[in-house]
Chain A
């Protein structure tokens, strides 16, 4: 076996891996061998690298393409009182390291199916968002393309707000203009929804959109979908959707506000994880609902499957705001770990790995097949349906 020596000697292994990984993730070039070794220590198998059994590439492809792999990921596995990386995540990274060094896996294959996050020091599968169905829905090509300024984040280990905002300036501006045009072309009140994965940049673009409406003298209001959540105890871990929300209340409220009426909606308490309303949609004793005034533009932002059929018909513009998974993860390192100090780093890594795939399959892929606009900040491309493009081209 040509690879045996390399797998046998830890020093040699890490040296070869270091060179190989520079080609997989160019950011590794900014590390010293020392640093790579520090990080590698945490994933080094007890019995050495030659103890790692390598699955065949097609087996691995099958594994990472299936839902079961992700639902099996534990979020908080422990060794002693310390949360650690999930076993199957560790095994995947070990296989890829060992396979790259021994030559069992080609670099092209690894790069095609995985990306490597430096701070997490692990491989994550690449999730496809622009599936064939999605591409077909948008006529196969984007409406507008800009320079991909996020390319410069390639070497970054984390990404802050300012860099992110600067990189997206053009596409964000174009998106805002399109939304303004569409509103002008249609009647109000109008409901606009914006969905997107965590750390894609929803909050920031929402703020900019609302500023734009304000400057245009439009009366707008926002509805947080989260307020329609059932008590956490009643949701049984079901994903955001019909089963986990006061869905009929949501429908009725939207219908009424679109008729220009005041609405009274549930209020969700994030600290106690309870709703002001019971499961039957009645106000609980002592609870205070939210009152919302009518407006021209009703804006709903969140991690919600707005494609649900009954709801879909009420929405004037359904937009999806996307940022590539490697960039979202880098944003979360800075925001959720460095600044907010919200998560244990191992829990955080397990959770991102797991939900990246599951959310895409449950929420974003189906939504993208039926939505009006997709903003792809990393690809710096705006995708619009032929119908929307027809409206935009009218004048």
Chain B
């Protein structure tokens, strides 16, 4: 019976269409026509019957190992066209066939993967709230709201306005909480917000700025990237582009100390076009280099992906926040923002890169920072998580 289906592409797509409605309810908004158009790119040359299925355990192991993601090519080409990475295609093909033959139960697929309709592929579900993170926050959030992002479940892409509206409650509580913490600690204070791409960092920072401005507080920001050393020097040493070794670290530390003491600072300027710093490796201004002058302020934002993974400065940062949005919602935001509006990426490049970076960035940046931060804003879960110390401050006032 199943062999028959695997050898009949029309029957295969018809049955798959019904199964996929269970996996992703958004598929119900498609017509079979449309589903087939999407599926076409993934049909194996030798037919669905030619797809070999790995064991579930093997797939689970692979999908949780760094090597798998390191191996994903971002720009593989067929002719002069960028295509989906082979292993990503193979994963989708296996899951489709396994769903049809029953080798993979729907529940198992749903537990480990989500299906993105516009990308028409499966991605692994990355776990952000690990045991360590939960322990750090005493196992439960400070406050939970109605999960309004549930409305996005059937959507193929998500725009700014609806995103902002869905997050209104948790965002407001977050802003109020930050104000209370600042009132408790006093100013000047350094505030760092880390978060994956398209989680909504830019928007929440903008709202915080407005809120501080209305309260008559001076705000400024320091971009971590400006402390990068020349790319040639970093590459010569083979240093990861965001670690301590890649930065004018002493200058960075000194600058943070000075500005928390209300002093004006003069920091290096990194030229992203030429990939060079205004400062040499000893931290001295190069001839002709122009540093950036930063006036003292009450609240100083530290902008960058890894602001509080730098051990020697982490104590200087007054409020450490991770701003999270579920991977599937972030991807839908990127379809709208980066593809529809910005037209920044090739479609296959975006799909490969998101698949790859989702896991790697969670591992090297976000999970680690969640274990040491003061607060996590989980917009999709509509929950604010705070450490016991912060919880005390918030409850007191």
- B-binding residues in A (CB < 8 A): 30-32, 34-35, 38-39, 41-42, 81, 119, 121, 157, 160-162, 165, 204, 334-335, 338-341, 345-346
B337 in the interface (beta carbon within 8 A): yes
Q: Across the interface, do A160 and B341 meet the contact criterion of CB distance under 8 Å?
A: no
**Which residues on A sit within 8 Å (CB–CB) of B202?**
34
- In the assembled complex, the Cα of A34 lies from the Cα of B31 at a distance in Å of 33
Q: Across the interface, do A32 and B159 meet the contact criterion of CB distance under 8 Å?
A: yes
The distance from the CB of A283 to the nearest CB of chain B, in whole angstroms, is 30
- In the assembled complex, the Cα of A340 lies from the Cα of B80 at a distance in Å of 18
B151 in the interface (beta carbon within 8 A): no
Q: Contacts A32-B160, A162-B29, A335-B34 known; A42 to B41 CB distance under 8 Å?
A: no
B24 in the interface (beta carbon within 8 A): no
B57 in the interface (beta carbon within 8 A): no
Instruction: List the B residue with the shortest CB-CB distance to A345.
Output: B343
The distance from the CB of A156 to the nearest CB of chain B, in whole angstroms, is 12
Q: Contacts A160-B30, A162-B29 known; A39 to B342 CB distance under 8 Å?
A: yes
The distance from the CB of A205 to the nearest CB of chain B, in whole angstroms, is 13
Q: How large is the interface on B (under 10, 10 to 19, 20 to 34, 35 or more residues)?
A: 20 to 34
Q: Across the interface, do A161 and B161 meet the contact criterion of CB distance under 8 Å?
A: no
B391 in the interface (beta carbon within 8 A): no
Instruction: List the B residue with the shortest CB-CB distance to A119.
Output: B340
Q: Across the interface, do A35 and B37 meet the contact criterion of CB distance under 8 Å?
A: no
- In the assembled complex, the Cα of A334 lies from the Cα of B156 at a distance in Å of 10
The distance from the CB of B41 to the nearest CB of chain A, in whole angstroms, is 6
Q: Across the interface, do A339 and B34 meet the contact criterion of CB distance under 8 Å?
A: yes
Q: Which of A34, A157, A161, A346 contacts B340 (CB 8 A)?
A: A157
Q: Across the interface, do A32 and B340 meet the contact criterion of CB distance under 8 Å?
A: no
**Which residues on A sit within 8 Å (CB–CB) of B30?**
160-162
The distance from the CB of A334 to the nearest CB of chain B, in whole angstroms, is 8
Instruction: List the A residue with the shortest CB-CB distance to B36.
Output: A339
Q: Which of A38, A81, A339 contacts B337 (CB 8 A)?
A: A38
Q: Contacts A162-B29, A162-B30 known; A340 to B37 CB distance under 8 Å?
A: yes
Q: Contacts A157-B340, A339-B38 known; A31 to B159 CB distance under 8 Å?
A: yes
**Which residues on B sit within 8 Å (CB–CB) of A39?**
340-343
Q: List 11 A-B contacts (CB under 8 A).
A: A30-B161, A38-B341, A38-B342, A39-B340, A39-B342, A157-B340, A161-B31, A162-B29, A162-B31, A165-B31, A341-B41
The distance from the CB of A195 to the nearest CB of chain B, in whole angstroms, is 21
The distance from the CB of A31 to the nearest CB of chain B, in whole angstroms, is 7
Q: Across the interface, do B161 and A31 meet the contact criterion of CB distance under 8 Å?
A: yes
Q: Across the interface, do B118 and A338 meet the contact criterion of CB distance under 8 Å?
A: yes
Q: Across the interface, do A42 and B343 meet the contact criterion of CB distance under 8 Å?
A: yes
**Which residues on A sit within 8 Å (CB–CB) of B342?**
38-39, 41-42
**Which residues on A sit within 8 Å (CB–CB) of B203?**
34
B40 in the interface (beta carbon within 8 A): yes
Instruction: List the A residue with the shortest CB-CB distance to B335.
Output: A338
| Chain B 29-50 interface mask (CB, 8 Å, partner A; 1/0) | 1110110011011000000000
B347 in the interface (beta carbon within 8 A): yes
B184 in the interface (beta carbon within 8 A): no
Q: Across the interface, do B159 and A160 meet the contact criterion of CB distance under 8 Å?
A: no
Q: Across the interface, do A161 and B33 meet the contact criterion of CB distance under 8 Å?
A: yes
B120 in the interface (beta carbon within 8 A): yes
In the A-B complex, the 3 residue pairs with the closest CB atoms: A32-B160, A339-B37, A161-B31
**Which residues on A sit within 8 Å (CB–CB) of B40?**
340
**Which residues on B sit within 8 Å (CB–CB) of A34?**
160, 202-203
Which among B29, B37, B80 has the highest number of chain A CB atoms within 10 Å? B37
- In the assembled complex, the Cα of A347 lies from the Cα of B212 at a distance in Å of 46
Q: Across the interface, do A338 and B156 meet the contact criterion of CB distance under 8 Å?
A: yes
Q: Across the interface, do B160 and A35 meet the contact criterion of CB distance under 8 Å?
A: yes
| Chain B 341-373 interface mask (CB, 8 Å, partner A; 1/0) | 111000110000000000000000000000000
Known: A42-B343, A162-B29, A339-B34. 9 other contacts (CB 8 A): A30-B159, A32-B161, A35-B160, A38-B337, A119-B340, A160-B34, A335-B37, A340-B37, A340-B40
Instruction: List the A residue with the shortest CB-CB distance to B347.
Output: A341
B180 in the interface (beta carbon within 8 A): no
**Which residues on B sit within 8 Å (CB–CB) of A31?**
159-161
**Which residues on A sit within 8 Å (CB–CB) of B341?**
35, 38-39, 121
